[in-house]
Amino acid sequence: MRGTVSADVVADEMKTVIIFTMIVCLCEGLSERALLERVRSGATTVRALAHATGAGTRCGSCICDLKRIVRRERREAEALPLATK
């Protein structure tokens, strides 16, 4: 059928929406998208991200997520020059 989208494509797009709108730091009300923007604008360590946003500075339950976000962005940044060659 022309013009239809598979369920897998829709599911992948929904996962992306959920991930980027997921609240990571409940204390500060910060989404993953907001934290990613800060990492991409220069907060490249958990300490710098916490200082810039306040995430992880109250209860600390989001520290593991902050580490994951920073680690993932570092990997992507390191891989980017290789992909553009």
pTM above 0.75, yes or no: no
Report DSSP state, residue 24. E
In 1-85, DSSP assigns E strands to: 23-25, 30-31
Rounded Cα–Cα distance for residues 62 and 76 (Å): 21
For the chain, 85 residues long, the average pLDDT of each consecutive 10-residue run is 55 56 93 95 97 97 97 88 57
**Given this model, what pLDDT does residue 16 score?**
55
Rounded Cα–Cα distance for residues 2 and 59 (Å): 51
Rounded Cα–Cα distance for residues 59 and 49 (Å): 15
**Residue 50 is which amino acid?**
A
Domains and CATH numbers, the chain: 7-84 (1.10.10.1100)
**Given this model, what pLDDT does residue 1 score?**
45
